[in-house]
Amino acid sequence: MNPLSIRSSGILLHPTSLPGPHGCGDFGQEAYRFVDWLVGTGQSLWQMLPLGEVGPGNSPYMSSSAFAGNIMLIDLLALAEHKWLSQDELAVTPAFLDSHVDYQVVTAFKLGMLRLAATRFFALPGKRLGDSYAAFCEREKHWLDDFALFKALWAHESWRDWSEWPEELVKRNPKALSKAAKQHADEIAFWKFCQWCFDTQWKALRKYANERGVHLVGDVPIFVAYQSADVWAHQELFELDENGRPTIVAGVPPDYFSATGQLWGNPLYRWSTHQETGYAWWIARLRHAFKLFDLVRVDHFRGFADYWAIPADAANAIDGEWRPGPGAAIFEALLGAFKELPIIAEDLGMITDEVIALRDQFDLPGMRILQFAFGEDERNHFLPHHYTANSVAYTGTHDNDTSVGWWHSVSEHERNFAQSYLRTDGQDINWEMMSALSASAANAVIFPLQDVLGLDSSHRMNMPGTGNGNWEWRLTPEQIASCDSARLAGLTNRDKRNPRLV
């Protein structure tokens, strides 16, 4: 059964934001405690950001692979249980921050520990774990081989873009690739080991959550990073020139978030080639996502109808143009591969009738954001009285301010309208907004944990259009301990959003 077919409630929190002993949240004990907290408050959805490794600006939307997991999420204490690390080794740590992720410090520490663990694993893997590792490598080889080789070559080539590597590697000459695979065999094995650890720990966490009635909601960015194994391995699928460099890149025109638009810089798809292959790469990508998650939010759904194409040398996103996307053809191909599409369509921004028609043609739930509701009048479709059952409602997303922060920065019109509509004086604005969503017709409502905690703007996850200081927020143990869990549970039960009680 699709979890969105019944009334439900959930929390948006990326795993890196969890507490933990090694500088960022991971798949360790605190993740299991969070699942228990979700159950105790009647929540049945845990939404997170993309689980791939972070890219420029620490963004999880610019990963070096559309398939590989972020190895910073690996629980090192679990590796110590296998004797690949010792408690003494893990006790000597840098000065980690409880409230933020210092990615540079965390990455250096965790990579060092993972390399040590891999060395010990390969020295004496044991039959059971050795067989598990080998089976994983064989099962995932369709992406894992290219990814591990890409990571090894990237380091060997001093972190240069892949288009600057030796020509035989840029063009993926089979003999050159075979030679490189032998030359970098140990490094390739290390990256495969890390992905195996990620996969094993993630599956255990998902099993724990699912057994307790918590469904995991993932996030699939529509575009991938240029400096990724996907673009290097499938150059024919992207708008690149003869030297492997992008000719046009992704972004959005000026909008609510930015007066100059957003220049994301991802290479755009050569959709004609995707169509010729029956959208095989996209089918493989979604199949992988559906193995990881119960539901998948597809970011920038608009791009399937039409997308903003920006010259690769542009300074900002203003001078782009709209080009047609694949439209219904890609979703028809996906339906041919899967029995159903457990997808949430991120249909925010400048949405046209064509985007809405595409979403509705395949009965995909869209998103409603309450923070967007008060700029106009009662006709604004983000107001709760307009919600339909087949939608997912949020106070805000990872790209928004917290609700408390939003309240202190809105225009006078928005404040007055919100006070009238929500019947509030604003003193408890986060709970008033959550209550309005919960009482709505939307089958699913999801609250950023910052809103449950009533946190201000200093705790937001991302500010679109800025390159630094994003994606770093962490939840402290004191914050979750001070949370009004009973109030959240009462709200969820009031509006019959706890499937365990239905």
Catalytic residue among 89, 145, 306, 399: 399
Q: Is 305 helix (H, G, I), strand (E, B) or coil?
A: helix
Residue 332 falls in which region: left (phi positive, over 0), alpha (psi -120 to 50) or beta? alpha
β-partners of residue 247 are none
Q: How wide is the angle at C-alpha 96 spanned by C-alphas 94 and 97, nearest 5°? A: 160
The CA–CA distances, whole Å, from 210 to 45, 214, 284 equal: 10, 5, 24
CA atoms within 13 A of residue 379's CA, in its CB half-sphere: 1
Handedness of CA 146, 148, 149, 154 (dihedral sign): positive
Q: Which amino acid is at 298?
A: V
Distance (Å, whole) CA 481 – CA 274 = 49
CA atoms within 13 A of residue 481's CA, in its CB half-sphere: 4
Catalytic residue among 299, 414, 451, 472: 299
Q: Is 399 a catalytic residue?
A: yes
Contact at 8 Å (CB) between 358 and 307?
A: no
What the block records as the tokens of 99 is 């409230």
User: Which is nearest to 223 in space by CA: 149, 282, 143, 139?
Assistant: 282
Contact at 8 Å (CB) between 326 and 347?
A: no
Catalytic residue among 346, 347, 414, 451: 346
Strands 444-448 and 391-394: what pairing?
A: parallel
Q: Is 346 a catalytic residue?
A: yes
Q: Is 372 helix (H, G, I), strand (E, B) or coil?
A: helix
Instruction: Please list, residue by residue across 327-344, b when 16 or more beta carbons sit within 10 angstroms of its beta carbon and e when fewer do.
Output: beebbebbeeeeeebbbb
Q: Is 299 a catalytic residue?
A: yes
Question: Can you give the length of the chain in residues?
Answer: 502
What the block records as the tokens of 273 is 């080639």
Q: How far apart are the first and last CA of the chain?
A: 15
Catalytic sites, residue numbers = 299, 346, 399
